[in-house]
Amino acid sequence: MASTAATRAAAGASKVVKPIFSRDLDEAKRRVRELYRAWYREIPSTVALFQLDINVRTGRDKVREMFDKNKHVNDPRVIDMLVIKGKMELQETIHVWKQKTHIMRFFNESQEPRPKDFLSKFYSGHDP
């Protein structure tokens, strides 16, 4: 009884999980930086290739915004998963498997911002 409790405590203290790509946080952050570099260099040719109506600066700010949204993540596996998803997006953008509309979806232009304070929610009908 005491031995099983001890082993459970020891197991709960430090869980070792199988990593996706990187073994620690530093390696995961390195992957993030590599992905950021690739996206940063890709933006000018994206804007030219898809004939987007935005500046290169706007595009790069949007890339920075998407990276900053996940700035708070600390788990290497979650970071790896996000990097994988970012790489998939990058591949689709480079090979022009996407179209202009898919890229412009990042900019959320046609979506109205959701109401945050009570009165706006009241006027729009209390949609939670």
Partner 1 sequence: MAARVLQHCVRTLRLSSGPLALRAAVVPAAPLHRALSFYSADRRTRCVNRFPSLDVLCRQYGHLPPLTLESIEERVLYVLKLYDKINPEKLQATSHFMKDLGLDSLDQVEIIMAMEDEFGFEIPDGEAEKLMTPDEIVQYIADKKDIYE
Residues that bind partner 1 (CB under 8 A): 29-30, 33-34, 36-37, 40-41, 64, 67-68
Task: State the minimum distance, in angstroms, from the CB of residue 36 to partner 1.
Answer: 6
- Residue 67 or 107: the one with the smaller Cβ distance to partner 1 is 67
- Residue 33 or 100: the one with the smaller Cβ distance to partner 1 is 33
- Residue 43 or 103: the one with the smaller Cβ distance to partner 1 is 43
Residue 8, C-beta contacts closer than 8 angstroms, at least 6 positions apart: none
Task: State the minimum distance, in angstroms, from the CB of residue 28 to partner 1.
Answer: 13
What is the rounded distance in angstroms from the CA atom of residue 109 to the CA atom of residue 62? Answer: 13
What is the rounded distance in angstroms from the CA atom of residue 92 to the CA atom of residue 67? Answer: 18
Task: State the minimum distance, in angstroms, from the CB of residue 94 to partner 1.
Answer: 18
Task: State the minimum distance, in angstroms, from the CB of residue 34 to partner 1.
Answer: 6
Residue 47 and residue 56 in contact, taking contact as beta carbons nearer than 8 Å: yes
Residue 119, C-beta contacts closer than 8 angstroms, at least 6 positions apart: none
